[in-house]
């Protein structure tokens, strides 16, 4: 609240470059260096020298964030109080343009026996092509329920996404899923009785499941469906309203555009997954925006794969593309990650994330490299991710003094 009251209009431009899962651990197989240490990064090195370094804690000490909480923190929304349901995240990840009031659920095709008992929760792991065919069949047969549109999007294997769109829907609804085989599919119900909105969603879910099961009757093995993680798209105050920023999100993967959409950013898809393609979009959107969030996925994927060499290569490719971004002369350039994805752990972790901030107003730490150890000694110190936005706004001259 303090931040919003201090935000100023300004012409300065902020770039937030997120290398997903950037932070790492010393890697025994590679001289106890981290990927950032091992990478050859002449442009990052030069930048580090005139930047302030530090470390971000995404959620809280010891807490490993998913992609949603990781990015919400970077965007200045406390991930412990700004909750995004599983269904909503799944829908955002599937590229569905959720609107305020939409309710989303994760869904599976499953196998039911003659009595309606679930015999396989994943319908024999049908191929994605079958999933797409079944989703198309359902979409063709099913219309509206009451005044609610039910929208479907096929995913990988047996997975798909269900979105309810219509007036007066709530997201606090139980799963239409027994969570194990050998049981019938339970009806959804409002988690707290007396909420007309949640009760309406539960009615629509149950009518949809009933009708869909009829449509699937002749199918095998996917003759049923399970819905879980029902949740309502949250309504957060957006960047324009909170920070007087016209914000753009440039991300190849829909999940990250989706989370950015919750912050009211305009969404842009680059021509490829690399930094160079993303920076081309930054150039295009430069005049129309004050804040440009750029997402690079490769670092996280390499970390998840446990591939040190690949993570180094992604970092080096970002470094090689960096001059194009620098040529735009952003007033504030921040490079960081949404969490660590150590190669040795093959997954997200809780370890603090390196962060770099370059601006004419930053403390120039004089480090010769940008990596975990240098960042530990950086002048930004250790920050919660949710506080990064204040630091960026400050370095952009976009925050008024607090008090006289």
Q: In terms of CB distance, is 279 or 308 closer to its own copies?
A: 308
Stretch of 122-130, 243-251, 322-330, 349-357 contacting its own copies, by CB under 8 A: 349-357
Site for its own copies in 4-63 (CB under 8 A): 6, 25-26, 32, 55, 59-63
Q: In terms of CB distance, is 120 or 175 closer to its own copies?
A: 175
Q: In terms of CB distance, is 301 or 320 closer to its own copies?
A: 301
- Say how far apart CA 314 and CA 311 lie, in whole Å: 5
CB atoms near residue 168 (< 10 Å): 12
Residues 6+ apart with CB under 8 A from 257: 92, 95, 249, 251, 267, 268, 269
Size of residue set near its own copies by CB under 8 A = 62
Question: Do the Cβ atoms of 43 and 323 come closer than 8 Å?
Answer: yes
Q: In terms of CB distance, is 2 or 218 closer to its own copies?
A: 2
3-state secondary structure 269-301: CCCCCCHHHHHHHHHHHCCCCCEEEEEECHHHH
Q: Which of 156, 183, 217, 364 binds its own copies (CB under 8 A)?
A: 364
Asked whether position 350 contacts its own copies by CB under 8 A, the answer is yes
Site for its own copies in 63-122 (CB under 8 A): 63-70, 79-80, 84, 86, 89-90, 93
- Reduced to 3 states (helix: H, G, I; strand: E, B; else coil), residue 31 is coil
- By CB atoms closer than 10 A (0-12, 13-18, 19+), residue 200 is buried
Q: In terms of CB distance, is 246 or 373 closer to its own copies?
A: 373
Asked whether position 349 contacts its own copies by CB under 8 A, the answer is yes
Q: Could you tell me how many residues make up the chain?
A: 404
Q: How far apart are the first and last CA of the chain?
A: 18
Q: Which of 120, 296, 372, 374 binds its own copies (CB under 8 A)?
A: 372
Q: In terms of CB distance, is 218 or 402 closer to its own copies?
A: 402
Question: Do the Cβ atoms of 148 and 169 come closer than 8 Å?
Answer: yes
Q: Which residues of 240-276 are buried (b: 16+ CB within 10 A; e: fewer)?
A: eebbbbbbbbbbbbbbbbbbbbbbbbbbbbbeebbbb
3-state secondary structure 190-254: ECCCCCHHHHHHHHHHHHHHHHHHHHCCCCCCCCEEEEEEEEECCCCCCHHHHHCCCEEEEECCH
To its own copies, the closest distance from the beta carbon of 82 in angstroms equals 10
Q: Which residues of 1-30 are buried (b: 16+ CB within 10 A; e: fewer)?
A: eebeebbeebebbbbbbbbbbbbbbebeee
To its own copies, the closest distance from the beta carbon of 22 in angstroms equals 14
Q: Which of 29, 100, 143, 403 binds its own copies (CB under 8 A)?
A: 403
To its own copies, the closest distance from the beta carbon of 285 in angstroms equals 25
Q: In terms of CB distance, is 84 or 265 closer to its own copies?
A: 84
What secondary structure letter does DSSP report for 181? T
Q: Which of 16, 209, 252, 390 binds its own copies (CB under 8 A)?
A: 390
Asked whether position 150 contacts its own copies by CB under 8 A, the answer is no
Stretch of 118-126, 173-181, 192-200, 345-353 contacting its own copies, by CB under 8 A: 345-353
Q: Which of 311, 348, 358, 367 binds its own copies (CB under 8 A)?
A: 348
To its own copies, the closest distance from the beta carbon of 391 in angstroms equals 4
What secondary structure letter does DSSP report for 176? B
The 303-342 contact track toward its own copies, x by CB under 8 A, reads ---------------------------------------x
Q: In terms of CB distance, is 286 or 350 closer to its own copies?
A: 350
Q: DSSP letters of 71-139?
A: HHHHTT--TTTS---HHHHHHHHTT----TT-EEEEEEEEEE-TTSBEEETTTTT--HHHHHHHHHHHH
Q: In terms of CB distance, is 13 or 200 closer to its own copies?
A: 13
Q: In terms of CB distance, is 19 or 399 closer to its own copies?
A: 399
User: Which candidate, 105, 58, 55, places its Cα nearest to that of 80?
Assistant: 58
Q: In terms of CB distance, is 369 or 373 closer to its own copies?
A: 373
Question: Do the Cβ atoms of 353 and 299 come closer than 8 Å?
Answer: no
To its own copies, the closest distance from the beta carbon of 343 in angstroms equals 12
The contact set with its own copies (CB under 8 A) reads: 2-3, 6, 25-26, 32, 55, 59-70, 79-80, 84, 86, 89-90, 93, 342, 345, 348-352, 361-364, 366, 372-373, 376-379, 381-384, 387, 389-395, 399-404
């Amino acid at each position: 609240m303090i931040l919003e009251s201090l935000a100023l209009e300004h012409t300065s431009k902020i770039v937030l470059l997120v290398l997903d899962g950037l932070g790492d651990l010393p890697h025994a197989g590679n001289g106890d260096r981290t990927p950032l240490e091992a990478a050859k990064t002449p442009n990052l090195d030069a930048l580090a020298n005139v930047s302030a370094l530090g470390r971000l804690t995404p959620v809280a000490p010891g807490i490993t964030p998913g992609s949603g909480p990781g990015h919400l923190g970077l965007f200045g929304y406390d991930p412990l109080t700004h909750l995004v349901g599983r269904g909503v995240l799944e829908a955002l990840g599937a590229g569905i343009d959720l609107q305020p009031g939409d309710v989303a659920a994760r869904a599976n095709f499953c196998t039911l026996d003659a009595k309606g008992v679930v015999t396989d929760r994943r319908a024999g792991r049908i191929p994605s092509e079958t999933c797409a065919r079944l989703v198309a069949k359902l979409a063709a047969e099913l219309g509206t329920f009451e005044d609610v549109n039910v929208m479907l999007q096929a995913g990988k294997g047996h997975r798909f996404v269900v979105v309810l769109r219509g007036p007066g829907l709530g997201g606090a609804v139980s799963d239409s899923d027994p969570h194990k085989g050998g049981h019938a599919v339970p009806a959804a119900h409002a988690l707290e009785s007396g909420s007309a909105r949640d009760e309406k969603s539960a009615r629509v879910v149950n009518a949809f499941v009933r009708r869909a099961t009829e449509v699937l009757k002749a199918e095998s093995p996917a003759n049923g469906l399970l819905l879980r993680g029902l949740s309502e798209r949250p309504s957060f105050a957006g960047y324009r309203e909170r920070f007087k920023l016209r914000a753009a999100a440039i991300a190849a993967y829909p999940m990250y555009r989706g989370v950015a959409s919750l912050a009211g950013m305009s969404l842009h898809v680059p021509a490829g997954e690399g930094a160079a393609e993303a920076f081309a979009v930054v150039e295009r959107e430069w005049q129309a925006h004050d804040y440009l969030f750029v997402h690079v996925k490769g670092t996280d994927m390499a970390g998840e794969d446990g591939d040190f060499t690949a993570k180094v290569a992604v970092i080096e490719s970002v470094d090689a593309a960096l001059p194009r971004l620098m040529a735009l002369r952003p007033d504030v350039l921040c490079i960081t990650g949404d969490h660590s994805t150590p190669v040795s752990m093959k997954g997200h972790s809780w370890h603090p994330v390196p962060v770099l901030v370059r601006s004419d107003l930053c403390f120039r730490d004089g480090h010769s490299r940008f990596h975990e150890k240098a960042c530990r000694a950086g002048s930004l110190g250790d920050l919660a991710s949710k506080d990064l936005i204040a630091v960026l706004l400050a370095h952009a001259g976009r925050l008024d003094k607090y008090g006289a």
